[in-house]
Structure 1
Amino acid sequence: MGPTLDSSYEDWVRVAEGVVPPGRHRVGGREEDGAGAVFAVVSPRDGSTLASVADAGEKEVDLAVAAARWAFDSGPWPRLAPAERGRVLLRIADLVEEHRSEIAALISLENGKPIAESYGIELRAVAGTFRWYGQLADKVCDEAPHTDPGALALVTREPAGVVGAVVPWNFPLTLAAWKIAPALAAGCAVVLKPSELTPLSALLLGRLVDEAMEEAGVPGGVLNVVAGDGPTAGRALGLHPDVDVLAFTGSTAVGRHYLRYSADSNLKRVWLELGGKSPNIVLPDAPDLDAAAATAAWGIFFNQGEMCTAPSRLLVHSSVAERVTDAVIQRAEALRVGDPLDPATEMGALAGAARLDAVRGHIDAARAAGARLRTGGAPLDPAPVPGGTYLRPTVFDRVTPDMAVAREEIFGPVLSVLTFDTVEEAVALANDTEYGLAAGLWTGDLSTAHTVSRALRAGTVWVNCYEEGDLTVPFGGYKQSGNGRDKSAHALEKYTELKTTWIQL
């Protein structure tokens, strides 16, 4: 099973050194080199090249979609009893757990996040997602509405077909599992395109899914994984006429491209989980202001701030702003930024040099606009691992709502503190954004908790907590944070079609 979070730093380094990164597409249950073009996957941990990976173009995407099309149209997968599909998903969960240490090390190497998060959070979520949908697969019932006594009406839920899934680098397998597991449970076939920054863990997951399918006697092609960039492989998948559904997680700007691809091809359904600029409101009657501050710091610096739901706008009542801000800064300065392979590390490396440069550009712009830098704002010198991309946790106050630092998604460990004097002002500030993915609220008043939660235009509102929940609840956004929902039974709606059959008796 490999090391766990109780294991030593040296144990994890040995695992990382022993991992053989996959570098070939998985199409139709086999590894494929494609046309021979490759790209390098560089580790943000130390700047080293982890692997050369086959680079998918239109030809490779065509082959992957053809394999998925065959698996859906002619293969047994959509025609298996739901309980049988569920058992395969449960086997995938088992295989993920069996390879948990290896996959976690690979994620930390290609993404830069701490091994405590890769192993303890991401891989737990991945296995849990496949297990949850495996258990759900045979528990979604069709309908027989009460209608005229001379007729029988049936409403059946059928798999939508071939699903294209395009996922980002910040949670490379969690977000993939949120799409793959419900799509497979519904009976669909999938073509997954991971980010070109983090394809290795996805290719390994593809191998495990093929293994589970083979054990069940299901031919390859139910899940295919092709690595490549968005303008080439992603575009080819979005435009492909044999893709029935496209599920994307990433930036709002790229999400617009997928809507255009749909309009320019077969009008495939496009489901988008996009950016965020989430507010975290702290009222003076919060049950525990210290807990609110600690959670605010954890939320923005978790996963290096590379999170669409990151509470990047801290809205604090002016009467407690100084106390809360000082406590957040204290937490930020005590945070252990270090080698992603060290179990003691609390914040790892940003996902590459380009990401580090982009975040530093936002920091420079905030200072020029008049925001006050309270802590951080610069790379660690020396870096915890030479060649890596490490940034100090950063906090700005004296931020005004018109500043770019309060409006644009930075996708890094940068917190903006804004103040307000009334609840109404707090709600107006929170909703003054093009995004609507998530929000936090800290209050000890039950009525305020309900009324403010209703007033916030966000897909998820956390009250006296942040980033809590499980697979029973849906996840998705309002406004330019996207449409549709991942997680929960509601996710099946994205990968199924409703058919009405009316039988005259």
Structure 2
Amino acid sequence: MNEMAQNADAQIREGLMLIGGKLCPSVGEGWLTAIDPCNEEVLGRVPDATAEDVELAVAAADRAAPGWAATPALERARLVRELARRALERADELLELEVRDTGNTRRRMVRDVTMATDLLEYFAGLALELKGETVPSTSTGLHFSVREPYGVVGRILAFNHPFYFAASRLAAPLVAGNTVVLKPSEEAPLSTTVLAELCAEVFPPGVVNIVTGTGLDAGAALVRHPRVKRLTFIGSVPTGRAIQSQAAESSVKHVSLELGGKNPMIVFADADPEKVATAAVAGMNFGHQGQSCGSTSRLLLHEDLYNDVLARVVEKVSALRLGDPMRDDTDMGPLNNARHLQNVMSHIAAAEEDGARLVTGGRRPSGAQFERGFWLQPTVFADVTPGMRLFRNEVFGPVLAVSRWSDDDDLLAIANGVDYGLTASIWTNDLNRALVTARAVQAGYVWINGNSSHFPGTSFGGRKESGTGSEEGLDELLSFTEVKTINIVLPAELV
């Protein structure tokens, strides 16, 4: 038996949703099957929520909202911390589910539970920062503002970090006093059913509700629900646009979106070639099969370094080990699902058609262990020009586009010449050049001589088509509140 086929002997998990404090199947009695992307074996199943399930979840959240908003902020924070503690107790179970359900490597996913609990702790610590302001508008009155929760918040998530996104994105709305209806991606839902079990143990009924289902049914019902005033989404640009449109059909909503990226790694001539090559491979997040919106998938090399860095990148990418993502010596696992693999392959075909030079990868790996599953070699294209589709379009897969530049005056036009603006990485030893470039590049999250990492307390969000709003910092917490202004006007005879 090969190392990946052993997954077939693992226990099949049947997860449940959380609605109104109770773990439950769908009222429609439908189920979605979770498939191991390594070998296409069944991992488990989760309820296929209907619009009726979403209605029940929103109604439960709406009933719980007044009581949760009236709960003292420090008590809300305590329960959020308790969720973090219980999640850490089940970290090993969650890690195995995440790796098997997503295809992401264990070596890269091992910190996802910790990062999620770190954000739960971080936002719990900000509970008393939900402050208003006083305004000296008149000398005789008192003019001040308070922050109040929206009520019911809807959160729809992507497949690449299921538990991390689900748990960490509960923190800010809950601490701010909102109740939540959360829908994970149908492509990797298993670990979120563990989160449902934890939330059922920790929070009052209806404060957290988790529905599993497809975007077309459960997702659309949540987006359109008139009682959901605040809505967030992590995913692709086309889906984000559709959500904005659908959300407006039923009511006015505050919608924030964390969408895709076609992020530049800008390398100046004075950078160290070996450090650049190592960072370029790390920035592609091959341990997540490149399935990360923040990946620096456009490597923009100054012509003086181009050939040297390209050769080093090709050598490093070609040496990446594909295999069972549960093994600690595996560098890259399979893509998440068959439809996504087909989409990535279409980008590779378009790149070859446009004249980009394939220098490594681009095909299914050979060998018996790769005959089933959603496998693709890590891929590098060289000589990619701004007119090519691979330069402009997000792949969301293990495909790096390498481009050459020579003129400083043209560099920013090249770097900014796409519809996206999520992240950017700048490599140079010249601090002035780095800061000038960082200010001019159209991206919401910029690294200088670094990439890939998120830093606690720093707000992450995009520009242009990469989204609206930001997460992971104080801005996220405040975004889940509405400002109310109160004016105390003293009677004239007392002034």
TM, length-normalised to structure 2 = 0.95
Aligned equivalents of 1:429, 1:123: Cα separation in 2: 37
Which of 7, 12, 32 is the equivalent residue of 2:24?
Answer: 32
Contact 1:16–1:102 (8 Å) recurs in 2: no
Give the structure 1 partner of residue 201 of structure 2. Answer: 211
Map 1:297-376 → 2, pairs under 5 A = 297-300=281-284, 301-376=286-361
For the pair 1:58 / 2:51, whether they are aligned, the reply is: yes
Which of 104, 108, 113 is the equivalent residue of 1:117?
Answer: 108
How far did 1:475 drift? Answer: 0.5
How far did 1:388 drift? Answer: 2.2
SS of corresponding position for 1:209: helix
Aligned equivalents of 1:296, 1:383: Cα separation in 2: 30
Aligned equivalents of 2:18, 2:294: Cα separation in 1: 31
Aligned equivalents of 1:118, 1:245: Cα separation in 2: 30
Aligned equivalents of 1:179, 1:273: Cα separation in 2: 12
Could you give the per-residue CA deviations for residues 213-250 of structure 1, whole angstroms, max 9, x where no partner exists?
2xxxxx21111111111111111111101111110011
The RMSD of aligned alpha carbons is 1.9
Aligned equivalents of 1:136, 1:268: Cα separation in 2: 25
Map 1:73-222 → 2, pairs under 5 A = 73=66, 76-119=67-110, 121-213=111-203, 219-222=204-207
Contact 2:297–2:399 (8 Å) recurs in 1: yes
What code does the residue aligned with 2:22 have?
R
Which of 64, 70, 75 is the equivalent residue of 2:63?
Answer: 70
User: Identity of paired residues, percent?
Assistant: 38
Give the structure 2 partner of residue 503 of structure 1. Answer: 488
How far did 1:175 drift? Answer: 2.2
Contact 2:153–2:229 (8 Å) recurs in 1: yes
Contact 1:333–1:393 (8 Å) recurs in 2: yes
Which of 456, 464, 469 is the equivalent residue of 2:454?
Answer: 469
Give the structure 2 partner of residue 267 of structure 1. Answer: 252
Give the structure 2 partner of residue 294 of structure 1. Answer: 278
What code does the residue aligned with 1:94 have?
R
Contact 1:312–1:416 (8 Å) recurs in 2: yes
How far did 1:417 drift? Answer: 0.6
- 381-390 or 150-159, which deviates more: 381-390
Aligned equivalents of 1:77, 1:23: Cα separation in 2: 26
Contact 2:51–2:218 (8 Å) recurs in 1: yes
Aligned equivalents of 2:225, 2:9: Cα separation in 1: 39
Aligned equivalents of 2:232, 2:385: Cα separation in 1: 35
SS of corresponding position for 2:454: coil
Contact 2:259–2:466 (8 Å) recurs in 1: yes
Contact 2:405–2:411 (8 Å) recurs in 1: yes
Give the structure 2 partner of residue 392 of structure 1. Answer: 377
Aligned equivalents of 1:477, 1:396: Cα separation in 2: 26
Aligned equivalents of 2:320, 2:301: Cα separation in 1: 22
For the pair 1:416 / 2:407, whether they are aligned, the reply is: no
Aligned equivalents of 1:19, 1:47: Cα separation in 2: 15
Could you give the per-residue CA deviations for residues 309-365 of structure 1, whole angstroms, max 9, x where no partner exists?
111110000111001111111110111211011122121111012222211121122
What code does the residue aligned with 1:367 have?
E
Aligned equivalents of 2:46, 2:428: Cα separation in 1: 49
Could you give the per-residue CA deviations for residues 290-313 of structure 1, whole angstroms, max 9, x where no partner exists?
111111111112411001111111
Give the structure 1 partner of residue 367 of structure 2. Answer: 382
Aligned equivalents of 2:173, 2:477: Cα separation in 1: 7
Aligned equivalents of 2:216, 2:467: Cα separation in 1: 20
Contact 2:424–2:447 (8 Å) recurs in 1: yes
Map 1:428-439 → 2, pairs under 5 A = 428-439=413-424
Contact 1:477–1:483 (8 Å) recurs in 2: yes
How far did 1:480 drift? Answer: 0.6
How far did 1:177 drift? Answer: 3.2
How far did 1:456 drift? Answer: 0.4
Could you give the per-residue CA deviations for residues 59-109 of structure 1, whole angstroms, max 9, x where no partner exists?
011011111111103xx3211111111111111111111100100100111
How far did 1:53 drift? Answer: 1.8
Contact 1:178–1:486 (8 Å) recurs in 2: no
What code does the residue aligned with 2:373 have?
G
Aligned equivalents of 1:403, 1:13: Cα separation in 2: 39
Could you give the per-residue CA deviations for residues 118-157 of structure 1, whole angstroms, max 9, x where no partner exists?
22x2112111111111111123333223342311112111
What code does the residue aligned with 2:24 have?
E
Aligned equivalents of 1:173, 1:145: Cα separation in 2: 42
- 382-391 or 171-180, which deviates more: 382-391
Could you give the per-residue CA deviations for residues 431-486 of structure 1, whole angstroms, max 9, x where no partner exists?
00001001111011011011111110100111100023322110110001110001
Give the structure 2 partner of residue 6 of structure 1. Answer: none
What code does the residue aligned with 1:232 have?
D
Give the structure 2 partner of residue 240 of structure 1. Answer: 225
What code does the residue aligned with 1:55 have?
D
Gaps of 5+ in 2: 491-495
Aligned equivalents of 2:326, 2:451: Cα separation in 1: 26
CA 1:78 to 1:368, structure 2 compared with 1: closer, same or farther past 3 Å?
Answer: same
Give the structure 2 partner of residue 23 of structure 1. Answer: 15
Could you give the per-residue CA deviations for residues 261-287 of structure 1, whole angstroms, max 9, x where no partner exists?
12211111111111110011111112x
How far did 1:17 drift? Answer: 6.0
What code does the residue aligned with 1:255 have?
G
How far did 1:37 drift? Answer: 1.2
Contact 2:12–2:42 (8 Å) recurs in 1: no
Aligned equivalents of 1:317, 1:367: Cα separation in 2: 23
Aligned equivalents of 1:16, 1:104: Cα separation in 2: 17
What code does the residue aligned with 1:388 have?
G
Give the structure 2 partner of residue 3 of structure 1. Answer: none
Contact 1:16–1:105 (8 Å) recurs in 2: no
What code does the residue aligned with 1:93 have?
A
- The count of aligned residue pairs is 487
What code does the residue aligned with 2:266 have?
I
Contact 2:167–2:195 (8 Å) recurs in 1: no
Aligned equivalents of 1:422, 1:123: Cα separation in 2: 44
How far did 1:260 drift? Answer: 0.9
